[in-house]
């Protein structure tokens, strides 16, 4: 009955393996694709609106006498966020014709509290090499650890800024974890994901940018 | 450890990443996510609607059950401790309950004092939570060392007895010392079916019941403290949000309902672990030297799990700190 002991040891090993989280933070993102004057994609600017709970967490202790927290007050947190984001590829995963696109450190970033008390993180992520999108520039925004659930903004998910004539974008994939939609979320949804699926990635919409 | 760096939007400490999952794990995450959403929804509406309070409590409880079903360090520590040290189930359940209540208390104290009274910022709160986390991890390492030393000694003693018995089994009779009042060592063939009556003169494997008596409230207290010291992100978010909406007591009630749910799951896991160990011992022949050694081996393995687990968490959290400081 040694096998039983081994089984027990495996059971314990399984217990100690870090394996679980579910979204605690909800972000509604808007991703602008910025072109340079040669018609190449130069940067992606993200504006991430956090849910009311994380916003309350981020602004605690800030904002005097019921005022909104100022950009200056939020600057240290913005710095921490962006520095840690570097270790996670800024949760922004872009591909050009199937090859990973590298980003440099953000050229600017800020965190602010909107009048509706939601906190927005805005940052501009330059491509290491500005690139002509051609027909196959795509990107996704998601947290691989799935602590944060991202969804693209319903109304304006993406805007192409300074794009040459004829460029367009499309967004593929529903936003199953949009906060309203998630109320209908059931275990069936998760159970139906194929084995080995990576939640964050699986649930992320994909943005396609194409230029003539 | 998979997570080396601190998460950019960490709330309190880092939560474990989910990575690749399927089957029952996916189902549990589905339940967790659903209850998490329902719970935060109920919290949002409970300001306007008093009847939402009971709903909130129920949802918090259910969320606690599912949230604890996933492997987190609290459950792992309590369960390993139970396998390594505990024979009395009721005591294990008390330990699970106290650890869960402590976890709720820590979250309430952390948010109540830091956010409610001192009005600190998010980073200060994360730093405080991180200190708590590191203290808890040190506690796990300490617990692992103590358990390993105690259980290692017990295993060594059991092995010595058996080896000695085997070694002397084929030896000439002169090595066998008859009962002389002082020396009670006697040759033994080591057969598991060898009968040891109460008047049996030769060497006894120590009675497991006596060894089971080495329960110490100190190690139990360390287990409770280390398993409960780390507040979970969900609890912190709920409390901070409730505080911002001037309904802190509602948040506190929700967090304690969550603790109760957590206690039920941790308690069940601990129960399962203890039963698994009991069954393993029964199959290997209760009271036989072999069962004694197998039992001791399981305990040492569980103690080693506690130690390695503590070291891994500690290393990961320091690696994470370096990454954020650089």
Q: What is the ipTM of this complex?
A: 0.77
Region B239-257 average pLDDT? 93
Greater pLDDT, B195 or A39: A39
Region A22-48 average pLDDT? 94
Label residues B215-244 b or e (16+ Cβ within 10 Å = b): eeeebbebbbbbbbbbbbbbbbbbbbbbbb
B75 vs B93: CA distance, rounded Å: 12
| pLDDT given at position B78 | 85
Backbone angles phi, psi at B287, to 5 degrees: 85, -10
What's the N-to-C CA distance of chain B in angstroms?
A: 20
**Above 70 in pLDDT, residue A120?**
yes
What's the pTM value of the predicted model, to 2 decimals?
Answer: 0.77
| pLDDT given at position B174 | 46
All domains in chain A, ordered by first residue: 20-210 (2.70.170)
Mean pLDDT of chain A: 81
For A66-121, give the secondary structure using H, E and C: HCCCCHHHHHHHHHHHHHHHHCCHHHEEEEECCEEECECCCCEEEEEECCCCCEEE
Cβ-Cβ contacts under 8 Å, A22 against chain B = 18, 29, 32-33, 36
Q: Is B74 helix (H, G, I), strand (E, B) or coil?
A: helix
Cβ-Cβ contacts under 8 Å, A202 against chain B = none
Count how many pairs of residues, chain A against chain B, have C-beta atoms within 8 Å. Answer: 227
Select, from the ranges A54-68, A111-125, B275-289, B290-304, the one with the highest average predicted confidence (pLDDT): A111-125
| pLDDT given at position B290 | 81
Q: How many C-beta atoms lie closer than 10 Å to residue A99's C-beta?
A: 9
Tokens of B64: 């606690």
**Above 70 in pLDDT, residue A54?**
yes
pLDDT in tens, A125-169: 999 999 998 878 999 999 887 888 898 998 999 999 999 999 999
User: Which of B2, B9, B46, B63 is best to mutate for the A interface (most A CBs within 10 A)?
Assistant: B9
Region B7-34 average pLDDT? 69
| pLDDT given at position A70 | 92
pLDDT in tens, A41-53: 999 999 999 999 9
Greater pLDDT, B110 or B12: B110
| pLDDT given at position A198 | 63
């Amino acid at each position: 009955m040694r096998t039983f002991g081994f089984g027990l040891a495996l059971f314990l090993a399984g217990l100690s393996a870090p394996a679980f989280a579910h979204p605690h933070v909800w972000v509604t993102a808007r991703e602008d694709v910025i072109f340079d004057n040669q018609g190449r994609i130069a940067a992606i600017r993200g504006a991430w609106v956090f849910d009311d709970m994380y916003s309350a967490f981020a602004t605690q202790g800030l904002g005097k006498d019921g005022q909104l927290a100022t950009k200056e007050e939020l600057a240290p947190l913005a710095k921490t966020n962006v520095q840690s984001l570097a270790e996670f590829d800024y949760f922004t995963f872009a591909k050009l014709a199937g090859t990973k696109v590298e980003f440099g450190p953000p050229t600017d970033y800020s965190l602010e509290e909107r009048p509706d008390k939601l906190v927005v993180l805005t940052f501009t992520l330059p491509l290491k090499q500005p690139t002509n999108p051609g027909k196959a520039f795509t990107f996704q925004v998601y947290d691989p650890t799935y602590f944060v659930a991202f969804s693209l903004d319903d109304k304006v998910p993406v805007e192409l800024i300074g794009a040459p004539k004829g460029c367009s974008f499309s967004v593929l994939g529903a936003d199953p974890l949009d906060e309203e939609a998630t109320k209908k979320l059931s275990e069936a949804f998760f159970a139906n994901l194929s084995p080995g699926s990576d939640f964050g990635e699986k649930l992320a919409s994909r943005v396609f940018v194409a230029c003539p | 450890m998979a997570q080396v760096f601190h998460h950019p939007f960490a709330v309190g400490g880092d939560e474990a990443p989910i990575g690749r999952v399927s089957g029952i794990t996916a189902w549990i995450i589905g339940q967790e996510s659903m209850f998490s959403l329902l719970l935060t929804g109920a919290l949002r509406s409970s300001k306007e609607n008093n009847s939402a309070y009971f709903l909130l409590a129920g949802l918090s409880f259910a969320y606690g059950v599912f949230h604890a079903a996933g492997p987190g360090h609290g459950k792992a520590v309590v369960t390993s401790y139970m396998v390594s040290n505990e024979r009395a189930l009721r005591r294990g359940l008390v330990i699970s309950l106290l650890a869960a209540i402590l976890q709720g208390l820590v979250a309430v104290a952390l948010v109540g004092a830091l956010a409610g009274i001192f009005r600190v910022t998010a980073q200060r709160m994360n730093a405080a939570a991180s200190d708590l986390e590191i203290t808890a991890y040190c506690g796990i390492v300490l617990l692992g060392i103590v358990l390993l030393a105690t259980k290692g000694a017990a295993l060594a003693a059991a092995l010595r007895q058996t080896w000695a018995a085997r070694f002397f089994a084929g030896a000439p009779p002169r090595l066998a010392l008859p009962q002389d009042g002082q020396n009670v060592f006697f040759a033994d063939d080591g057969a598991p079916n060898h009968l040891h009556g109460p008047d049996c003169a030769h060497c006894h494997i120590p009675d497991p019941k006596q060894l089971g008596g080495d329960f110490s409230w100190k190690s139990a207290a360390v287990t409770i403290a280390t398993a409960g010291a780390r507040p979970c992100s969900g609890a912190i978010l709920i409390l901070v949000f409730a505080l911002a909406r001037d309904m802190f007591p509602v948040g506190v009630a929700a967090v304690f309902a969550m603790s109760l749910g957590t206690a039920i799951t941790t308690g069940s896991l601990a129960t399962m672990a203890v039963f698994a160990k009991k069954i393993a011992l029964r199959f290997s022949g209760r009271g036989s030297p072999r069962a004694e050694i197998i039992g001791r081996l399981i305990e040492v393995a569980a103690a080693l799990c506690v130690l390695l687990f503590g070291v891994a968490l500690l290393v990961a959290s320091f690696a994470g700190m370096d990454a954020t400081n650089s």
